[in-house]
Amino acid sequence: MISTSPNPSTIVAIATPPGLGAIAIVKMSGPKSLEILQRLCKRAHFTPRYATLVSIYDAQEALLDTCLALYFKAPHSYTTEDVVEIQCHGGVMVARLILQTCLDHGAVLAQNGEFTKRAFLNGRLDSSQVDALAKLLVATNANAAKVMARQLKGALKEFVHAIRHALLELLASSEVLIDYAEEDLPLDLHPRMQAQLQQILTKLQSTLAISQAKVPHIEGYRLSIVGKPNVGKSSFLNALLLEERALVSHIAGTTRDTIEEVISLYGSALRIVDTAGIRPSEDVIESLGIAKSLQSMQESDVILALFDLSRPLDTQDQHLLTLLQTQTHKTLCLVFNKNDCPPQLDTQAIIDTLPPLPLPPPIFKHQRTLLAPFETRAQAPI
């Protein structure tokens, strides 16, 4: 454990974001927390971990609010110090007045993240938990929030401790092997150690593989809609979003820049990118847009490649197919658009050109539901 200062200050901060709301929370941590609370409320006794209804007064004894106060006695608190939480009425003013009174009574304003810093320095949280907390606070999808909640509760910490413990035991055995090489040691000690080491290695490798597979599940999937100009990419984006987000027109090259939108799908964030139509172009601006389309394709987990069912395969489609052939490690979905028009495209020729498709990520097992809004709309002439 890293030791903290022997005389820590008592820090105070408003823990809730500013703005209109029913409740705001003022939080204190440090040796003077209880004394300051007693002065705020003119009340001597607080039972640790019990909510107490109190009236709070400023230094001039003017009533500020009627609040709920919670006192956590050291070391049974978030920071392991004496901690006080005052739940006052929301809005910006009441919490600010209570904060100011705490400062008047000797507390100092907490730095950003200082409560968690103290929790870490005092051994309440380890670095995996601090990391989880930082990610939990900015989580934008349900999966990320749930994974980080487990990590914050100590799941990763326990796993690391278990591995460390097993490795320390192996270290002890290997020192015995070296120091007492002449003694009558069990004959199978060496192979047993090798087997244990292999077990640890397998566990670490499988955990790493599972964690890597979960990354897009937590951070979200990136999906690019690509195709030649005018094939219906922007229409497809709008159909997925159920809103007219991107401009749609019969003029080729309408979408110059990539357009990104995030939707939440089965608890995961799905970042959908509509791209500029890919074709050989002399136009400087269009070429910049096409370069961004290619980059977006490289960075995506899933590529939705659109083809126009109402026209025969042309050199622009072939150019796209050549590019798609290089994206073997990606999940590729072929979309044959404009199925309301008489078909002219040899779809089997396109499928045969491409390597076998890898399995889609788990989120796309719901593909039918995902495409439902589009299917509904695509049936009507656009």
Ligand X SMILES: Nc1nc2c(ncn2[C@@H]2O[C@H](COP(=O)(O)OP(=O)(O)O)[C@@H](O)[C@H]2O)c(=O)[nH]1
Nearer to ligand X, 34 or 278 (CB): 278
For residues 54 and 43, give the distance between their C-alpha atoms in angstroms, rounded to a whole number: 8
- Smallest gap from Cβ 233 to Mg ion, in A, equals 5
* Residue 260: exposure state from Cβ atoms within 10 A (0-12, 13-18, ≥19): middle
Instruction: Report 141-200 residues binding Mg ion (CB under 5 A).
Output: none
Query: How many of the chain's residues bind Mg ion (CB under 5 A)?
Result: 3
Cα R_g (the chain), whole angstroms: 30
Contact, 338 vs 236, CB < 8 A?
no
Interface of this chain with ligand X, residues 123 to 152, rule: CB under 6 A: none
The mark string for 207-246 relative to ligand X (x by CB under 6 A, - otherwise) is --------------------x-xxxxxxx-----------
Q: Decide: is 293 part of the binding site for Mg ion (CB under 5 A).
A: no
What strands, in cross-sheet order, belong to the sheet with 108-109?
51-57, 63-72, 83-89, 23-29, 11-14, 108-109
Tell me if 324 sits within 8 A of 332, measured CB to CB: yes
Q: How far is CA 160 from CA 122, 165, 279, in A?
A: 19, 8, 51
Measured CA to CA, the distance from residue 239 to residue 261 in angstroms comes to 12
* Alpha carbon 43 to chain centroid, angstroms: 43
289 scored as a contact of ligand X (CB under 6 A):
no
Structure tokens at 164: 């460390």
Cα separation values, 193 from 164, 181, 202, Å: 15, 15, 14
Give which of ligand X, Mg ion, none residue 19 binds (C-beta under 5 to 8 Å, depending on kind): none
Would you count residue 296 as binding Mg ion (CB under 5 A)? Answer: no
Q: Does residue number 293 form part of the binding site for ligand X (CB under 6 A)?
A: no
Min dist CB 261 to ligand X, Å, is 14
Of 132 and 276, CB closest to Mg ion:
276
Q: Shortest approach of ligand X to residue 225 CB, angstroms?
A: 8
Q: In angstroms, what is the minimal distance from the CB of 229 to ligand X?
A: 5
Please choose, out of 118-126, 175-183, 249-257, 312-320, the segment that lies near ligand X by the rule CB under 6 A: 249-257
| Site size for ligand X (CB under 6 A) | 21
What is the rounded CA–CA span in Å between residue 306 and residue 318?
12
Question: In the range 201-260, which residues lie near Mg ion by CB under 5 A?
Answer: 233-234, 255
Dihedral pair phi/psi, residue 135, rounded to 5°: -75, -35
By the rule CB under 6 A, 105 interacts with ligand X: no
Minimum Å distance from CB 310 to ligand X? 7
With CB under 5 to 8 Å by kind, the binding choice for 116 among ligand X, Mg ion, none is: none
Query: In the complex, what is the shortest distance from the CB of residue 295 to ligand X, in angstroms, rounded to a whole number?
Result: 18
Which two structure tokens, joined as six digits, stand for 128?
């995996």
Q: According to the binding rule CB under 6 A, does residue 279 interact with ligand X? A: no
Considering the complex, what minimum distance in angstroms separates the CB of residue 222 from ligand X? Answer: 18
The answer to whether the bond into 75 is cis (omega within 30° of 0) is yes
3-state helix, strand, coil split of the chain in percent (to 5) is 45, 20, 35
Q: Which parts of this chain interact with ligand X (CB under 6 A)?
A: 227, 229-235, 248-250, 254-255, 277, 337-338, 340-341, 378, 381-382
Q: Which parts of this chain interact with Mg ion (CB under 5 A)?
A: 233-234, 255
